[in-house]
RNA sequence: GGCGUCGUGGCAGAGUGGUUAUGCAGCGGCCUGCAAAGCCGUGGACGGCGGUUCGAUUCCGCCCGACGCCUCCA
């Protein structure tokens, strides 16, 4: 490991730091270790595709950092108490904790389908109330917090010198924005809630300021510092959290500790629908499971979504459409076809960093996690493998295949059995699937007989009929026929 | 009003001061009963106007266009 605490060895990892607006070499507090906190979900509903992007992007970041030998401490929180949760629970007539529990379980299912690994820690706000209260007390002692007339405890924004450093705006500039509501309760309109006085019937915890609950931003300060220390390396989340959430986290954390809170801030771009930001308030959003349900095989469509997300750079906007899904499907099919063509190949345990492809792959990823370029490297591997196979150099091809699988795995891709992906079969085969497979195989036999007899018309009719059902037949040179899924484009 | 991001070939989407991104689609060829897959070859691009430069899609300025943030949001 380098003495200067850079990560990545020969491929010094460069990270775009939202705080400075530039790409910087990633230098961590501890040599060879990376502490990263990602703002996770507020669990009052099913995760949408924007959440999928955060999950997949930072899962890939963590996988990559680990692949270059870093010991990563990955924390992703769950906010399980806030206004939206309380409202939704009331609407449903269930308790907040029951509601939260339900959607946490659903989120874990979604993650699985997207091949997102669990973080090392997944702290929930309601389990850190003591730490939150202690943090607010520190802020109060230092003069950064005050109790308002209404009973809420607020953060005194004017007292924190660096306020606005992340969003690149001064308090006064923010005020000119004019959409800040006037509130007699606040010393300054930008002051925000640290502790909210509870209303009857709401979840509440005892505190020095009376019973209440944490405000929105404080739990991330408390939990991240509790899990990773008062200073840590990377804090990440969606672009929309930059202001005010992350700005406020900095204010809370640095005012309480007097130390630099986070060295690198990473923000992923929005997921868009028809080139507009997808958000619940706009009503133009898809849940992850909605998309997952559009395919019989949940892992297959999950990987397609993952591929689609990684095929654009994490900071760019990502436009979701039927075509982006189809593109991802076609690309993944090409990757899986070469694996299937090579037979079953075990994944290499470690990358041979000296290989041409690994060098290109790592160079791309070290440059602020350029996954589109890394994926392009995967495809040049595919071409090479196919060339080798065309020339019957099977052993060489299989060697490269195991490298392909290794590199793809760094992106969380190609972890399924090729056949399962190509045929769209799930791991625990249903009766329905078995019946379908048998039906297809019967037709293939029937066609083989026709071909043997030279009845091309019949053979082609069977093939054409199956294709209309989305089943593509492929004959190899030895009289064997295989099949795979091929969506026929019906024009929407 | 303030701040910011972006504008690449038919579509998606990287990147670069002068040389092939990549995937899908197209075209020609090999292979195939015909296909499919694969391979080989190939056409096609950098919003507009100026400037810097031997040379700009890449740097600078202006303009136009799209989007976002300043309010809950990944």
Domain map (residue ranges) of chain A: 14-272, 431-485
pLDDT over threshold 80, residue A215: yes
pTM for the model stands at 0.96
Report the pLDDT averaged over residues A465-480.
92
- With contact defined as beta carbons under 8 Å apart, do A143 and A238 qualify? no
| Chain A residues 72 to 101 with C-beta below 7 Å from nucleic strand B | 84
| CA dist A415 → A20, A90, A485, A486 (Å) | 37, 42, 18, 20
E strand spans, A251-304: 262-268, 271-273, 276-277
| Protein CA at A390 to nucleotide C1' at B30, angstroms | 12
| Interatomic CA–C1' length for residue A275 and nucleotide B64, angstroms | 19
Query: Within 7 Å: CB of A356 and strand B?
Result: no
Please give the full DSSP string across A427-458, using - where no structure is assigned.
Answer: SS--HHHHHHHHHHHHHHHHHHHHHHTT-HHH
Judge residue A167's burial from the number of C-beta atoms within 10 Å of its C-beta, 0-12 exposed, 13-18 middle, 19 or more buried: middle
Structure tokens given for A83: 């206004």
Q: Nearest residue to nucleotide B37 when comparing alpha carbons to its C1'?
A: A474
| Axis crossing angle, helix A371-390 with helix A322-341, rounded to the nearest 10 | 40
In the predicted structure, residue A203 carries a pLDDT above the cut 50: yes
Residue A57 Cβ < 7 Å to strand B: no
**Nucleotide nearest A460, from its CA to each C1':** B34
Q: What is the mean pLDDT of residues A99-106?
A: 97
SS (H, E, C) A113-165: HCCCCCCCECCEHHHCHHHHHHHHHHHHHCCCEEECCCCCEEECHHHCCCCCC
Residues 6+ apart with CB under 8 A from A394: A342, A388
Average pLDDT over residues A107-130: 97
Q: Determine the 3-state secondary structure of A293 from DSSP.
A: coil
Q: Does the pLDDT of residue A489 top 60, yes or no?
A: no
More confident residue, A296 or A116: A116
Are A462 and A447 a contacting pair, CB within 8 Å?
yes
**Residue A225 — pLDDT band, cuts 50, 70, 90?**
very high
% of chain A at pLDDT higher than 90: 80
Q: From the CA of A317, how many Å to the C1' of B16?
A: 22
Residue found under tokens 């509870």:
A198
Nearest to A291 by CA among A307, A277, A275, A312: A307
Residues 270-309 of A with CB under 7 A from strand B: 270-272, 275-281
Measure A110 CA to B23 C1' (Å).
26
Residue A94 phi/psi, 5-degree rounding, is -130, 170
For chain A residues 13-52, those near strand B by a CB cutoff of 7 A are 21, 39-42, 48, 50-51
Q: How confident is the model at residue A186 (pLDDT cuts 50, 70, 90)?
A: confident
A298-310 vs A322-341: helix axis angle to the nearest 10? 110
The reply to whether A482 has its C-beta less than 7 Å from any atom of strand B is: no
Q: Confidence band (pLDDT; 50, 70, 90) for A385?
A: very high
Task: Using the CB atoms, write b or e for A202-238: b if 16+ within 10 Å.
Answer: bbbbebebeebbbbbbbbbbbbbbbbbebbbbbbbbb
Question: What pLDDT is stored for residue A430 in this prediction?
Answer: 80
Is the confidence at residue A195, as pLDDT, over 50? yes
CA distance A6 to A12: 6
Q: Which band of pLDDT confidence, cut at 50, 70 and 90, is reported for residue A93? A: very high
Closest CA to A70 of A316, A365, A347: A365
Task: Report whether pLDDT(A351) > 90.
Answer: no
Q: Which CATH number fits domain A14-272: 3.30.465.10, 3.40.50.620, 3.40.1160.10, 3.40.50.150?
A: 3.40.50.620
pLDDT surpassing 80 at residue A145: yes
Tell me what pLDDT residue A490 has. 44
A391 CB inside 7 Å of strand B: no
Q: Does A13 sit behind a cis peptide bond, omega within 30 degrees of 0 on the bond before it?
A: no
**Which residue is associated with the tokens 């998309």?**
A291
The nucleotide closest to A189 (CA, C1' atoms): B71
Q: Which bases of strand B have any atom within 7 Å of the beta carbon of a protein residue?
A: 1-6, 11-15, 21-25, 31-40, 66-74
């Amino acid at each position: 490991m380098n003495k200067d605490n850079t990560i990545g060895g020969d491929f010094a990892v460069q990270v775009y730091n939202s705080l400075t607006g530039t790409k910087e070499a990633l230098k961590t507090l501890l040599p060879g270790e990376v502490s990263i906190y990602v703002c996770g979900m507020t669990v009052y509903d099913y995760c949408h595709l924007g959440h999928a992007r955060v999950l997949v992007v930072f899962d890939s970041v963590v996988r990559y950092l680990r692949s270059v030998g870093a010991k990563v401490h990955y924390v992703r929180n769950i906010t399980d108490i806030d206004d939206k949760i309380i409202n939704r629970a009331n609407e449903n007539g269930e308790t907040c904790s029951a509601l939260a529990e339900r959607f946490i379980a659903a989120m874990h299912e979604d993650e699985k389908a997207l091949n997102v690994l669990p973080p090392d820690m997944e702290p929930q706000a309601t389990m850190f109330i003591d730490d939150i209260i202690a943090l607010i007390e520190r802020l109060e002692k230092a003069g950064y917090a005050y109790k308002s007339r209404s009973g809420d405890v607020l953060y005194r924004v004017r007292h924190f010198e660096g306020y606005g450093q992340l969003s690149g705006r001064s308090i006064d500039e923010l005020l000119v924005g004019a959409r800040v509501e006037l509130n007699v309760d606040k010393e300054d309109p930008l002051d925000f809630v640290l502790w909210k006085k509870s209303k009857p019937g709401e979840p509440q915890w005892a505190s020095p300021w009376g019973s209440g609950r944490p405000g929105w931003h404080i739990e991330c300060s408390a939990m991240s510092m509790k899990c990773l220390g008062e200073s840590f390396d990377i804090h990440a989340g969606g672009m929309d959290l930059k202001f005010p959430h992350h700005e406020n986290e900095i204010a809370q954390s640095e005012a309480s500790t007097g130390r630099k809170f986070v060295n690198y801030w990473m923000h992923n771009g929005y997921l868009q629908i028809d080139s507009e930001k997808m958000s619940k308030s706009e009503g133009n959003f898809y849940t992850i499971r909605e998309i997952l349900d559009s395919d019989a095989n949940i892992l297959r469509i999950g990987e397609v979504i993952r591929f689609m997300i990684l095929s654009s750079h994490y900071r760019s906007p990502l436009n979701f459409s039927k075509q982006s899904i189809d593109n991802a499907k076609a690309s993944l099919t090409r990757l899986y076809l070469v694996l299937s063509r090579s037979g079953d190949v075990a994944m290499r345990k470690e990358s041979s960093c000296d290989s041409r492809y690994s060098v290109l792959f790592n160079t791309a990823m070290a440059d602020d996690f350029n996954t589109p370029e890394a994926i392009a490297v995967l495809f040049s591997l595919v071409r090479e493998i196919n060339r080798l196979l065309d020339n019957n150099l099977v052993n060489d091809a299989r060697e490269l295949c195991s490298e392909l699988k290794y590199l793809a795995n760094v992106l969380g891709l190609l972890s399924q059995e090729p056949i399962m992906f190509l045929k769209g079969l799930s791991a625990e085969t249903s009766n329905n699937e078995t019946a379908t497979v048998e039906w297809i195989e019967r037709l293939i036999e029937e066609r083989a007989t026709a071909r043997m007899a030279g009845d091309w018309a019949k053979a082609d009719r069977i093939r054409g009929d199956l294709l209309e059902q989305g089943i593509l037949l492929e004959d190899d040179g030895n009289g064997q026929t295989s099949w795979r899924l091929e969506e026929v484009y019906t024009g929407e």
